[in-house]
Amino acid sequence: MLTRAWETVQFIYTVARLANRRRRQPEQLFAYQRGQLRKLLRFALENSPFYRRRFRHIDPDSCPLERLPITNKQEIMEHFDEVVTDRRIRLADVEAFASDPANLGRLFLDRYVICHTSGSQGRPIFIVQEQKDIQLAFALQLARGHPLEKRWKTLFRRFGRPARWASFYVKPGFYPSSVVFTYMPRAVHRFAQTLRLSLQDSLEKNVQQLNEFQPNFLTGYASVLEALAREQLAGRLRLRESGQLQMLTNMSEPLTPQARELIEGAFGVHVSDHYAMGECMTLTVGCPYHQGAHVNVDLAILEVVDDRYRPVPPGTKGSRVLVTCLHNYVMPFIRYEIGDVITMNPQRCPCGSNLPHVAAIEGRTKDRFWIRRNDHYEEFSPFIFLEVMYRCFDVAEFQFIQTDWTRFDLRIAPVPGRQLNVAEIQRRLQAALCEAQLHPLIQVNIIPVDEIRPDPVSGKMKRMQTLLAPPPGVASASP
Ligand SMILES: [Zn+2]
């Protein structure tokens, strides 16, 4: 009982600290950021053999950020055991831990939260962090991502009257979107009653649950929010009518202007656009009033760069980003490259926040997929495939290509030095399709290859691609 009360006090303290820090002037915020970076560099130099080697000519107390070497997913995974700062952590053990679903909700070595992601290129990356890092992500939502952020004290009136918060996830597993809720700090329940909705369930079932729950806040992927908007417009979903819904949050997928218009028009509330990744869950918080997101400069550093890693000025689209997470000390990410296309706002966000404003988030553009059931077409969520592939740790790269309304080719390339078990991958895909009752409708043809190269035009790896035009009568809200 006492522990719970103490956890709540700690959580409220974190929320208050984050809310107050946000109000500091930009120069104070960046001075704080530099201090945090120095601290992280000193710690990484002392405790991570990987960074010690890379930073051997660097003075952590004076070296400018731009002079620090850049790293990426392949490198971090190759040197995983030396990147982490706790010598007990071994990639082989982390992989084994994440391969057993029974471990979900447990702490690795009684201390660490494990998740794995795949990002835009290369093999999956395993991320080790502490519970406090997850707690920060939730505290940020309350302190900065909430329409009440300017009067955060009113949040505490929610004590005993928690907000209803519904959120979508792929299905239970060690992916960031699932892990973040599985390891949600208990204190959050004081502020929010939560409903988790699985993408494995039918749209109909999720609509029914949402109608019963009547959330104040709803978090989902852009494509899911779009599907829900169509349900709301068709009258099957009824979230607008009660006036309870206050905000929607998009995560993980780009939100096109057309999709935003459709969703905001259907629900009559703002869609906040969250931009973060498993490697740094606290990178930004979606602006609760306007488009885009605010960079949490006290917790992370976001550099927008061009193809040759030169900084691009705000207002100009970059071709990738470099992310430094300032609070994860067990697995430091310092100038870590991600292939997202970001444009910073040269001005302040109209909401008046002192935090830098990400004006546009692109990258990760996706095709939409339709399959034929009897004589009609229905949209198909690629998460069913992706969820399976992200658990195949021997797969370095994969690509699904829809060739017909019922057929997909799956090209897979192994992690160097590992063997692919094609029959096992086929079995897992089949099981996932069966679970979603799609097995009679979809066939997957697996083609093992040595390597899959990014698209020569965009330079991006398209994990899911369709060769088909949208079916007749489909008005596409996404490009
Ligand atoms: Zn704003």
Could you tell me the CATH number of the domain that includes residue 381? 3.30.300.30
- pLDDT of amino acid 210: 97
* pLDDT < 70: residue spans in the chain: 1-2, 118-123, 148-160, 363-367, 454-461, 473-479
Same domain, 326 and 392: no
The reply to whether 355 and 409 lie within a common domain is no
- Cα–ligand 1 centroid distance for 459 (angstroms): 31
Q: Are residues 218 and 348 in the same domain?
A: yes
Residues 393 and 293 occupy one common structural domain: no
Give the strands of the sheet with 357-361, arranged side by side.
Answer: 284-286, 293-295, 357-361, 342-344
Where is the domain boundary, 321, 344, 361?
361
The 10 Å Cβ neighbour count of residue 60 is 18
CATH number at residue 97: 3.40.50.12780
CA of 355 to the centre of ligand 1 (A): 8
Q: What is the pLDDT of residue 476?
A: 44
Predicted confidence at residue 437, as pLDDT, reads 84
**What pLDDT does residue 304 have?**
97
Query: Tokens 């992500």, residue?
Result: 137
The rounded Å distance from CA 324 to ligand 1 centre is: 22
Same domain for 290 and 157: yes
The amino acid occupying position 464 is: M
Residue listed under structure tokens 């002079």: 67
Output the CA 262–ligand 1 centroid distance in Å.
Answer: 21
Q: Does residue 335 share a domain with residue 432?
A: no
**Is 41 domain-assigned?**
yes
Residues 247 and 180 in one domain: yes
Ligand 1 centroid to 238 CA: how many Å? 28
Domains in the chain, number: 2
CA dist 420 and 424 (Å) reads 9
- Rounded to 5 degrees, what angle do the CA atoms 241, 199, 374 make? 95
Q: Report CA(361)–ligand 1 centroid distance (Å).
A: 14
Last residue of a domain, one of 306, 336, 361: 361
The burial class, CB within 10 Å (0-12 / 13-18 / 19+), for 389 is: buried
Q: What is the pLDDT of residues 53-102, one digit of tens each?
A: 999 999 999 999 999 999 998 899 999 999 999 999 999 999 999 999 99
CA of 474 to the centre of ligand 1 (A): 34
Give residue 235 CA to ligand 1 midpoint distance, Å: 32
Expressed in angstroms and rounded, the spacing between residue 352 Cα and the centre of ligand 1 is 6
- Residue 156 pLDDT: 58
Judgement on whether residues 291 and 190 belong to the same structural domain of the protein = yes
Residue 17 DSSP SS3: helix
Residue type present at position 144: R
Last residue of a domain, one of 361, 380, 406: 361
- Based on the fold, state whether residues 44 and 140 are members of the same structural domain: yes
326 shares its domain with 439: no
- With respect to residue 91, please indicate whether it lies within any of the assigned structural domains: yes
CA of 395 to the centre of ligand 1 (A): 40
Same domain, residue pair 141 and 174: yes
349 CA distance to ligand 1 middle (Å): 5
b/e 346-382 (16+ beta carbons within 10 angstroms → b): eeebeeebbbbbbbbbebbebbbbbbeeeeebebbbb
**Position 302 in a domain:** yes
pLDDT number for residue 155: 58
Separation of 11 CA from ligand 1 center, angstroms?
A: 24
Q: What's the CA-to-centroid distance between 348 and ligand 1, angstroms?
A: 8
Residue 406: inside a domain, yes or no? Answer: yes
Ligand 1 geometric centre to CA of 145 (Å): 9
Q: Please tell me the distance between residue 147's alpha carbon and the centre of ligand 1 in angstroms.
A: 10
Determine the distance separating the centroid of ligand 1 and the alpha carbon of 279, expressed in angstroms: 23
Find the Cα–Cα–Cα–Cα dihedral 344, 15, 268, 367, rounded to 10°. 50
Query: 369-373 and 300-305: which strand pairing?
Result: unpaired
Are 272 and 413 within one domain? no
Q: Distance from the CA of 351 to the center of ligand 1, in angstroms?
A: 4
Would you state the torsion angle of the CA atoms of residues 352, 353, 357, 361, taken in this order, to the nearest 10 degrees?
Answer: -100
Residue 108 falls inside a structural domain: yes
Cα of 290 to ligand 1 centre, how many Å? 5
Ligand 1 centroid, distance to 89 Cα (angstroms): 39
pLDDT for res 134: 94
User: Would you state the pLDDT for residue 478?
Assistant: 39
447 CB-contact burial (10 Å; exposed 0-12 / middle 13-18 / buried 19+): exposed
Helix axes 2-22, 131-144, angle to 10 degrees: 50
Cα 427 to ligand 1 centroid, rounded to whole Å: 47
> Is position 472 within any domain?
no
The alpha carbon of 288 and the centre of ligand 1 are apart by a number of angstroms equal to 7
Predicted local confidence at residue 307, as pLDDT: 83
Please indicate, yes or no, if residue 474 is contained in any of the structural domains.
no
pLDDT in tens, 355-414: 999 998 875 445 678 888 888 888 787 778 877 887 788 888 888 999 999 999 999 988
Helix (H) or strand (E) holding 81: helix 80-83
Q: Domain limits at 409? A: 369-466
SS3 call for 271: strand
Which residues sit with Cβ closer than 5 angstroms to ligand 1, an ion?
Answer: 287, 290, 349, 351, 353
Distance 142 CA to ligand 1 centre (A): 15
Beta strands in 289-374 (DSSP E): 293-295, 300-305, 320-325, 336-338, 342-344, 357-361, 369-373
Q: Is residue 477 part of a domain?
A: no
- 417 by DSSP, 3-state: which? coil
Strand partners, 323: 302, 336
